[in-house]
Structure 1
Amino acid sequence: MMEETRAKLIQAARKAFAANGYAGASMDDLTAEAGLTRGALYHNFGDKKGLLQAVIDQIDAEMLARMRTARQREKTTWLGFLAESMAYIEMALEPEIQRIMLLDGPAVLGDPSQWPNQNACLETTAQTIQALIDEGTVKPMDAEAAARLINGAALNASIWIAAADDPRIVFAKAVEAFGHLAAGLLQKEH
């Protein structure tokens, strides 16, 4: 029952945050949409900010699954690494991700690089870079430092796209520049 209540609230909040933004989402409307009370919201999430964090966690898990799929479609670790990064940047074109993950999330919850889910993402990127170093594809360097810089570039590109007047134009610029930046890690041209 508790999981069903949480799921209903997250679904209603996700819809409200995407349509109206965090600030414009009414907790009374949201709980009514879910067929629940404000008490259920406070009991399960503490407050509106806690509910936003739960929505972000759900969207983040979906984004990670999509990125993993993009990586697994490729024939080499390097191409998978690029595909995963590009998939993340491309998701910044989606209105729900723009609004909730890239605009409202940082405004309400602070720097996305400090969110708890970012540690797992950073660790995965560092492991991939270390594997690329070990196989001789990427120049020897500190894998954590490279992962932090690559993840930061992808995150900033995504925020730039989300905030742009014309996200598609910015996306094209960001993808081209990101590709050149990532290629700087290579031992030789791939």
Structure 2
Amino acid sequence: MQVKSGRRSNAERTRAMRDRLVATARALFVAQGYAETSTPALVTAAGVTRGALYHHFADKRALFRAVVEAEAEAVAQAIEAADDRAESALDRLLAGADAYLTAMAEPGRTRLLLVEAPAVLGEAERRCIEDTRGDATLREGLEAAIEAGALRPLPVAVLAPILSAAFERAAESMAAGAEPAACRTVVRALIAGLTGRGDT
């Protein structure tokens, strides 16, 4: 019988180190902002050498991009987790909107994704990151709701980014202190307005 070794593989060690660097960087970027977070501060906080940092990431910007990707993926997963295939297409769209706002309420996430990311990476690169994550889920939800007759047949290529921008502004309002319930009510009313039947 072969005994499984307790030693981690190179791939596992690499993943653990990347996760450690990303988690450390996230905390510092949230607390201090990207511009005020130095590379020496990153390696000191992570307890690694400068060489270890550059082995995994080309520079601070590449590490920041990894943080943004991880945050965007967490939001997308939260939306997917809220998706109940037994519900109607419209109910699933509403649940996804609620899940987005809940996920964005994670401390620091709105700042990272909606403030720091456009400034550091540029809006085009930020949108590229979102395109295969939360934005893709939103497009699919809109297409399903339109196909089911729950929403007016509007062009999704135009509707999705406009609705996404509204969701982002709601998240920013919540981060600035707006009442979460009020933000959710407004977002749900926006979606209800697309049905042509009033409130849902």
Class of the TM-score when normalised by the shorter of the 2 chains = 0.7 to 0.9
CA deviation vs aligned residue, 1:130-156 (integer Å, no higher than 9, x gap):
211111111112122221211111122
Q: In the alignment, what sits opposite 1:18?
A: 30
- Partner Cα separation in structure 1 for residue 64 and residue 156 of structure 2: 32
Distance, in Å, in 1 between the alignment partners of 2:26 and 2:196 is 43
CA distance in 2 between counterparts of 1:127 and 1:67 reads 12
State the Cα RMSD in Å: 2.4
Query: Does the 8 A contact of 2:79 with 2:96 survive in 1?
Result: yes
Matched, 1:181 2:190: yes
- Length-normalised TM-score, structure 2: 0.80
Stretches of structure 1 lacking an aligned partner (at least 5 in a row): none
Identity of aligned residues (%): 30
Paired residues of 1:74 and 1:83 also in contact (CA < 8 A): no
Aligned to 2:138: 125
1:97-147 alpha-carbon deviations (Å, 9 max, x no partner): 133223322222222784322212333322221211111111112122221
1:95 equivalent in alignment to 2:107: yes
Match of 1:154 among 161, 164, 167: 167
Amino acid at match of 2:78: R
In 2, Cα distance between equivalents of 1:13 and 1:114: 18
Greater gyration radius: 2
CA distance in structure 2 between the aligned counterparts of 1:7 and 1:15, rounded to whole angstroms? 12
Higher share of residues assigned helix: 1
Give the number of aligned pairs. Answer: 186
Length-normalised TM-score, structure 1? 0.84
